[in-house]
Amino acid sequence: MRIIAENRRGVLRDIATVVADHEANIVMINQEVFDSGPFCGMAELYFEYDNDDPSDRDTLIEDMVRIPSVKRVTTHQPFGDIFGKRVIIIGGGAQVAQVALGAVNEADRHNIRGERISIDTIPLVGERTLAHAVDAVARLPRASILVLAGSIMGGDISRAVDRVREAGIPVIALKMAGTVPEHADLVVTDPIQAGVFAVMQVSSKAVFDINRVKGREF
């Protein structure tokens, strides 16, 4: 559900109250303020929710529209149905591009058969910058696996890898200098193959299981 509302105190509370009154549960939420366009200065709130009674959706929307600060309400398919599971690739530009090449080609093979797997990339440099990006993966909605693609990574990045794995997200690392490969679930020399492995791991139809090769190097 996407809501355009006034940007003031209490709006999120009022919206959440309506959702709770309908015995629904918010499972994902994102909010930002428009800085241009026809809604400049207003807030956009997007959230996804579970509701045991799907027939109650129209009534929920009607009650949402009655909130004085709400200006527009539209409904959409959940991101999980559209973009599905996310493969996150972080590292140096050249290596990220090669991992993405393998991942996109493999994802296409699965998505054409009805799955939904999306590929997200960001080329970055610097230990602290990379460590912050790795830590953020655990907070990304639908992030299913992380691939670290670079020539040398260690220190704070390795500690961030441990935290991501503790959050339940497996990590694949390219063979590189530094300590990151020692902290990853799997080390792969060929970046294209690393992308293929990542997609196969999150696929619901592939037979690859990273737990069966954990700690190994290919």
Alpha carbon 141 to its chain's center: 4
CA–CA distances in Å: residue 62 to residues 18, 56, 59, 134, 145 = 10, 10, 5, 41, 39
> Which CATH superfamily does the domain covering 81-212 fall into?
Hypothetical protein af1403; domain 2 (3.40.50.10550)
The Cα 92–Cα 25 span in angstroms is 39
The listed CATH number (3.30.70.260, 3.20.20.60, 3.40.718.10, 1.10.10.10) that belongs to domain 2-76: 3.30.70.260
Q: Do domains 2-76 and 81-212 have the same CATH topology?
A: no
pLDDT at 57: 85
212 pLDDT tier (thresholds 50, 70, 90): confident
Q: Where are the domains of the chain?
A: 2-76, 81-212
Confidence check: pLDDT of 7 > 90: yes
Instruction: For 140-192, write each residue's pLDDT tens digit.
Output: 999 999 999 999 999 999 999 999 999 999 999 999 999 999 999 999 999 99
Average pLDDT along the chain: 93
Residue with tokens 């997609």: 199
- Note the pTM of the prediction, 2 decimals: 0.85
Structure tokens, 99 = 């991992």
211 pLDDT tier (thresholds 50, 70, 90): confident
Q: Write down the H helix ranges in 69-155.
A: 79-82, 93-111, 127-137
Q: How many CB atoms lie within 10 A of CB 83?
A: 15
Instruction: For 77-114, write each residue's pLDDT tens digit.
Output: 888 888 899 999 999 999 999 999 999 999 999 999 99
pLDDT at 162: 97
